[in-house]
């Protein structure tokens, strides 16, 4: 297991390098001059040229790329923001906690709501509850999150005046954004739980459990749910990974200064080091989420867990043959 | 002899997209205490459906029990509340399932799956149940220290043994064994059958053994019921079925198994196929394949009649002229 994790971590390196190269290339090819953006349209051409020289923007593509990779790999240095002149790493870490908080809160909400609704809906298939729940879920999947967020603000902040509309100055500021985000992704989780559970409930081993005289609640929670969770966990993991990159729209609607909004703003300002650093962090958190999900599979399903150690056994066999 | 199980006029249907599948039709069956009844029939005859009906485990939807009674020690299981039925399932009546590969939960250890059924019906602590589950494992010939392993670490035969251990763990009065050996190779088959009959004798359990293997029937059954298209076509003691075979289908079944002693005679399979249970003929369901079919057979489904001490047959032509010649 530990070897498996180590191998997976090692496999992340080429992925992250690839991400660096791709993002760097895209930003390099995008029209627009960062120096010009920083100095403003009215600045003299000589000043712009001078700034380009100091930022190293006049070097060739390969020189710039290699310099960037060298700094990231050997010095963990993501460079400095063009806009603020502060280290990119500090700028990102300043905003990351808010993004993590929002992601954690909303994923927790969506897991609790989505899984429990999915269970009820699957066990009472075709009942009124199931029909209502699946319709709401369909609505939830097709409703744009930012629109739901705006509606929530209009209802709960403007009309009812229960909760603040924007900012992030205390716990009450987190309620609306995390509920909006959480409930909207609970729809996907609910649908996934429902269909996966319906599939599992038809299996022979569920019949075996019932044949023992086990009551229905235990059959579902103990026997069916663990088997049904694998696809659901995949969805949850991807959702969490994506939210760690920041939820641009919700952060904008609720004026939360998180990572998503920061990266988008930096793109429009051609703040290349920030964009590159941000995307790298996003790729990293996504890969880690993926790994965590795969490890979790192993805990849910002993068959998968035994596969994790197979590569090691094969290795043994190969060694034995070599000798 | 008292009957532990008495099925009266049981009908079970599945509603599918292609139509209504009449899997079990007006079925009557008795199982006496301590007796082993062989339920024989080709694939799709409704054997598993009958057993699931007794367990109250017909998948619903699409399955519905449309009529009849299933008496267990005099009480109709179909009228019991879910809760009272659960107290019987796995405790008084238990089932050994047909497919060992899919009948065990892949994410729960085999030991826990046995202990679970013990803990449902007996007031034991977790540790006591685990101890008893270990004993059950050893009883079916698996070392007790494999308690903590998962089904995928077991061979097919061992899984079947685990399923048997689950079924026997609460000393049931009735075992429904649904082809407990078809998934196994011949040597293991014999072992498993020996095991079941040994355990059964020790505890004086009654058993319905579902199979399409007549050889197995001869070895361990007292009574035999031949099932065809959801109906019992012949029922009687082992001797009656083998020596005084009365129904043309039963005769056909014997004709289609190879006989080592009579090496010369070729295998004589029954021509044709069992009728589609969603579209059963009006008259006798075996009529289209029957050598002796007559006009009456086409028009009217024959009743099950008693032709000798506890020997029943469902055929219009029984006892008519010419009966003697093909016995
Ligand atoms: N869940 C189901 N949905 C629809 N039809 C079903 C279902 N289960 C069984 N049937 C149908 O009911 C009929 C009887 O099936 P059953 O499983 O009882 O046969 P069987 O005698 O046990 O056969 P086998 O020897 O192959 O196990 C078949 O025609 C089958 O197609
Ligand atoms: Mg069957």
Question: pLDDT for A108-143, tens place per residue?
Answer: 999 999 999 999 999 888 888 888 888 888 887 888
Per-residue model confidence as pLDDT tens digits over B66-99: 989 999 998 999 998 989 999 999 999 999 998 8
Strand order in the sheet with B19-32: B19-32, B3-16, B63-72, B75-76
What per-residue confidence (pLDDT) applies to B216? Answer: 83
> What pLDDT, in 10s, does the model give residues B10-47?
999 999 888 898 999 999 999 998 899 999 988 889 99
pLDDT of B225: 94
Mean pLDDT calculated for residue range A38-43: 81
pTM exceeds 0.90, yes or no: no
The single residue listed with the structure tokens 């990293």 is A284
What's the pLDDT at B255?
A: 76
Residue B185 CA, chain-centre distance (Å), reads 20
% of chain B exceeding 70 in pLDDT: 93
Spatial separation of the C-alpha atoms in residues B184 and A247, rounded to whole Å: 56
pLDDT tens per residue, range A303-320: 888 877 765 455 444 444
pLDDT of residue B105 exceeding 80, the answer is: yes
Contacts with A215 from chain B: Cβ below 8 Å: 86
Report the C-alpha gap between A130 and A122 in whole angstroms: 7
What's the DSSP call for residue B270? P
Range in A85-94, A119-128, B240-249, B314-323 the model is least confident about:
B314-323
Give chain B's mean pLDDT.
86
Q: How far apart are CA A55 and CA A66, in angstroms?
A: 15
Predicted confidence (pLDDT) per residue in A148-162, tens digit: 888 888 888 888 888
Q: Is the pLDDT of residue A24 over 50?
A: yes
pLDDT band at B257 (very low <50, low <70, confident <90, very high): low
Closest-approach residue (CA) in chain B for A230: B107
| Residues of chain A neighbouring B162 (CB-CB closer than 8 A) | none
Centre of ligand 1 from the C-alpha of residue B99, in Å: 14
Ligand 2 centre to CA of B178 (Å) is 7
Residue B192 has pLDDT above 60, yes or no: yes
Name the pairing type of β-strands B93-96 and B19-32.
Answer: unpaired
Q: Give the pLDDT of residue B261.
A: 62
**Cβ atoms within 10 Å, residue A50:** 13
Query: Residue B75: helix, strand or coil by DSSP?
Result: strand
Is B49 touching ligand 1 by the criterion CB < 6 Å?
yes
The stretch B192-215 carries a mean pLDDT of 84
* CATH level 3 topology of A91-316: MetI-like fold (1.10.3720)
- Residue B276: Cβ-neighbour burial (10 angstroms; 0-12, 13-18, 19+): middle
Per-residue pLDDT for B185 more than 90? no
Which residues from A are below 8 Å from B153, CB to CB?
306
Residue identifier of the C-alpha nearest atom 14 of ligand 1: B46
Mean pLDDT of chain A: 86
């Amino acid at each position: 297991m530990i070897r498996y994790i180590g191998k997976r971590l090692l496999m992340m390196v080429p992925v992250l390098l690839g991400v660096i190269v791709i993002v760097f290339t895209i930003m390099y090819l995008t029209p627009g001059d960062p120096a010009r953006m920083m100095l403003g349209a009215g600045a003299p051409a000589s000043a712009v040229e001078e700034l380009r020289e100091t930022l190293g923007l006049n070097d060739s593509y390969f020189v710039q790329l290699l310099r960037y990779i060298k700094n990231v790999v050997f010095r963990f240095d993501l460079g400095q923001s063009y806009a603020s002149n502060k280290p990119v790493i500090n700028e990102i870490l300043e905003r990351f906690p808010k993004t993590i908080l929002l992601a954690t809160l909303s994923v927790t909400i969506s897991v609790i709501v989505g899984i429990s609704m999915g269970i009820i809906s699957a066990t009472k298939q075709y009942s009124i509850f199931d029909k209502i729940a699946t319709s709401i879920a369909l609505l939830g999947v097709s409703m744009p999150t930012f629109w739901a967020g705006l509606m929530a603000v209009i209802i709960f902040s403007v009309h009812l005046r229960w909760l603040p509309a924007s900012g992030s100055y205390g716990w009450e500021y987190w309620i609306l954004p995390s509920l909006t985000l959480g409930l909207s992704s609970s729809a996907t989780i609910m649908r996934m739980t429902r269909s996966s559970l319906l599939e599992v409930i038809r299996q022979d081993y569920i019949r075996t459990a019932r044949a023992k005289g086990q009551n229905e609640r235990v059959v579902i929670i103990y026997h069916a749910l663990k088997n049904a969770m694998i696809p659901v966990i995949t969805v949850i993991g991807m959702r969490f990974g994506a939210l760690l990159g920041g939820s641009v729209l919700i952060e904008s609607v609720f004026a939360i200064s998180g990572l998503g909004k920061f990266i988008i703003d930096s793109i429009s300002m051609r703040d290349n080091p920030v964009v590159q650093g941000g995307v790298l962090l996003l790729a990293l958190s996504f890969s880690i989420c993926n790994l965590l999900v795969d490890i979790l599979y192993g805990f849910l399903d002993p068959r998968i867990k035994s596969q994790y150690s197979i590569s090691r056994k094969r290795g043994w066999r190969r060694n034995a043959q070599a000798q | 002899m008292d009957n532990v199980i008495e099925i009266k006029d049981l009908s079970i249907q599945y509603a599918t997209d292609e139509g209504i599948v009449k899997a079990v039709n007006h079925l009557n069956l008795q199982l006496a205490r301590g007796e082993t009844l062989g339920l024989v029939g080709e694939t799709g005859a409704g054997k598993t459906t009958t057993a699931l009906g007794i367990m109250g485990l017909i998948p619903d939807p699409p399955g519905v029990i449309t009529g009849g009674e299933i008496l267990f020690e005099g009480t109709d299981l179909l009228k019991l509340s879910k809760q009272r039925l659960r107290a019987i399932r796995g405790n008084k009546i238990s089932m050994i399932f047909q497919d060992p590969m899919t009948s065990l939960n892949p994410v729960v250890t085999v030991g826990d799956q046995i202990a679970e059924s013990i803990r449902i019906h007996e007031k034991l602590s977790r540790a006591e149940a685990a101890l008893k589950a270990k004993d059950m494992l050893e009883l079916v010939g698996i070392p007790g220290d494999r308690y903590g392993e998962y089904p995928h670490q077991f061979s097919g035969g061992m899984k079947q043994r685990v399923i048997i251990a689950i079924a026997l763990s609460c000393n049931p009065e009735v075992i429904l064994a649904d082809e407990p050996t078809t998934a196994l190779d011949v040597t293991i088959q014999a072992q498993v059958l020996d095991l079941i009959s040994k355990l059964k004798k020790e505890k004086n359990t009654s058993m319905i053994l579902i199979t399409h293997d007549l050889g197995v029937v001869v070895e361990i059954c007292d009574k035999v019921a031949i099932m065809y298209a959801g109906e019992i076509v012949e029922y009687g003691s082992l001797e009656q079925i083998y020596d005084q075979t009365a129904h043309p289908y039963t005769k056909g079944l014997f004709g289609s198994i190879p006989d080592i002693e009579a090496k010369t005679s070729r295998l004589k399979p029954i021509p044709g196929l069992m009728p589609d249970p969603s579209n059963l003929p009006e008259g006798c369901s075996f009529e289209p394949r029957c050598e002796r079919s007559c006009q009456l057979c086409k028009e009217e489904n024959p009743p099950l009649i008693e032709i000798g001490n506890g020997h029943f047959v469902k055929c219009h032509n029984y006892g008519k002229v010419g009966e003697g010649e093909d016995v």
